[in-house]
Amino acid sequence: MHIAKYPLDKTQSDWLKTTIRDVPDFPKPGILFKDITTLVGDPKAFCFVVDSLAEKCEELKADKIAGIEARGFIVGAAVAQNLGIGFIPIRKPGKLPYKSARQEYALEYGTDCLEVHVDATTAGERIVLLDDLLATGGTAGAAIQLIKQVGGNPVGLGFIVELEFLKGREKLPKDLDIFSLISF
């Protein structure tokens, strides 16, 4: 029916968009949240997304896949399993049981932080970071810095959804292969 191939054609992109639910005024008034729980609940759509992202990650010769808590875990772990490679969880502060590296990043009001185990990667391993959505680029940028801190070689950033109007891609390192399956 839908054969995964990156990049998606218009028919595939349009179909995939129908599997994502819009939630108005979440997490605050004026925000239209793109909810991927409907996509991951649809077995055809979820398999299609995993296969499409895995194809691109394989092209980038990824040694490991990293995913950002929490929705990045869903897609990142599935892609890593699909490729038979390791997965690196990038977590919110205080969630990892072993020695961790930490990276703070700016939010609209204040700061936040991400952490990863110091031994999550070995020097030079090719890492592709996956997440559900690219918005402003702050979280993804911090995760890339964190991967570098622990010795990884980030080679790509992949997303299911990109909100192009927020221009997050412009804030990310230009030397990385940045890709998304669908854009709004």
Any idea what the CATH number is for the domain that residue 89 is in? 3.40.50.2020
**Element counts in the chain: helices (H) and strands (E):** 5, 9
- Catalytic site includes residue 126: no
* Per-residue model confidence as pLDDT tens digits over 19-50: 999 999 999 999 999 999 999 999 999 999 99
How does the average pLDDT of the chain come out, rounded?
A: 95
Q: Residue 50 domain-assigned? A: no
Residue of 69, 71, 162, 164 marked catalytic: 71
Instruction: Name the amino acid, one letter, at 6.
Output: Y
Cβ neighbours of 138 (radius 10 Å) = 17
State the maximum Cα–Cα separation within the chain, in Å, rounded to a whole number: 46
pLDDT at 1 over 60: no
Residue of 55, 102, 108, 115 marked catalytic: 108
Give the distance, in angstroms, between the CA of residue 168 and the centroid of all CA atoms in the same chain: 13
Instruction: Name the amino acid, one letter, at 182.
Output: I
Q: Residue 35 domain-assigned? A: no
Q: Residue 109 domain-assigned? A: yes
59's CB contacts (< 8 A; 6+ apart) are 6
- Catalytic site includes residue 91: no
Instruction: State the average pLDDT over residues 59-69.
Output: 97
91 is written with which tokens? Answer: 């977590």
pLDDT for the residue 160: 98
Q: Residue 115 domain-assigned? A: yes
Cβ neighbours of 80 (radius 10 Å) = 23
Task: Answer whether 0.85 is exceeded by the pTM.
Answer: yes
Q: Residue 158 domain-assigned? A: yes
For residue 17, give Cα distances in angstroms to 34, 178, 183. Answer: 10, 19, 9
**H or E element: which one contains 153?**
strand 153-162
Q: What is the DSSP string of 45-87?
A: HHHHHHHHHHHHHHHTT-SEEEEETTHHHHHHHHHHHHHT-EE
Q: Residue 163 domain-assigned? A: yes
Q: Comparing C-alpha atoms, which of 6, 183, 133 is closest to residue 82?
A: 6
Q: Residue 15 domain-assigned? A: no
Q: Alpha-carbon distance 85 to 40, whole Å?
A: 21
- Give me the number of domains the chain comprises: 1
pLDDT for the residue 3: 58
pLDDT for the residue 47: 96
* Per-residue model confidence as pLDDT tens digits over 88-101: 999 999 999 999 99
Give the domain range for residue 79.
61-183
* Per-residue model confidence as pLDDT tens digits over 134-184: 999 999 999 999 999 999 999 999 999 999 999 999 999 999 999 999 999
Q: Residue 170 domain-assigned? A: yes
Q: Give the phi and the psi of residue 88 in degrees, each rounded to 5.
A: -115, 115
54 is written with which tokens? Answer: 């895995």
Q: How confident is the model at residue 6 (pLDDT cuts 50, 70, 90)?
A: confident
